Amino acid sequence: MAHGAQKRAIVFIANGTEEMEAVITIDVLRRAGIQVLVLAVEISAGHVVCSRGVKLVPDAYLGDDSVKITTYDAVVIPGGAEGAAMLSENPQVRSILADFYAQKKLVAAVCAGSLAIKAAGIQTKVSQPLRLTSHPSVKDQLEHDFLYKDERVVVDGNLVTSRGPGTTFEFALKLVSILAGDDKRNEVATPMMLA
């Protein structure tokens, strides 16, 4: 992936999204100079309520005509059982994931968010099983359709997956490496005491 122009990423959120996975990813990408759009799938009281009660205010809502989805380079699905289910069930989210994957744009998911990858049918578009990981609690829903790996972060082409809140810094830094290069990854990781 070329590192010239400023990269842009969408991070989807919904009621029940795992807040650490969403916020850590958003923050690390923004520290790397990646333009992040926090995109909610439902319009509610101006915010979503995450899995542990933290309220997040999205930048926009899916269906907002001012959001030009095709201008983004990456899409990220955080976990959280309820939030991942809501994202997996949304036909627009599934279509965006499938389109980004087909266009060789970065598609990423952490924890139960990997269920959205399956819901999008990405695994049916390839000749070899895709390598993927998730939170262990949803492994049984994924291991028959993917080459499941019990690893902290798994990269298979333009698909990046991870396991849960405790692996999210590694996940987000891998996204930075892919989108902006290893030098930028190191620049971001060092002051956060992750280098």
Residues carrying an active site annotation: 111, 135
Q: How many C-alpha atoms does 25 have within 13 Å on its Cβ side?
A: 35
Report DSSP letters for 96-107, one per residue.
Answer: HHHHHHHTT-EE
Are the C-beta atoms of residues 62 and 93 closer than 8 Å to each other? yes
Bridge partners (DSSP) of residue 110 are 162
Q: Three-class SS string for 124-149?
A: HHCCCCCEECCCHHHHHHCCCCCEEC
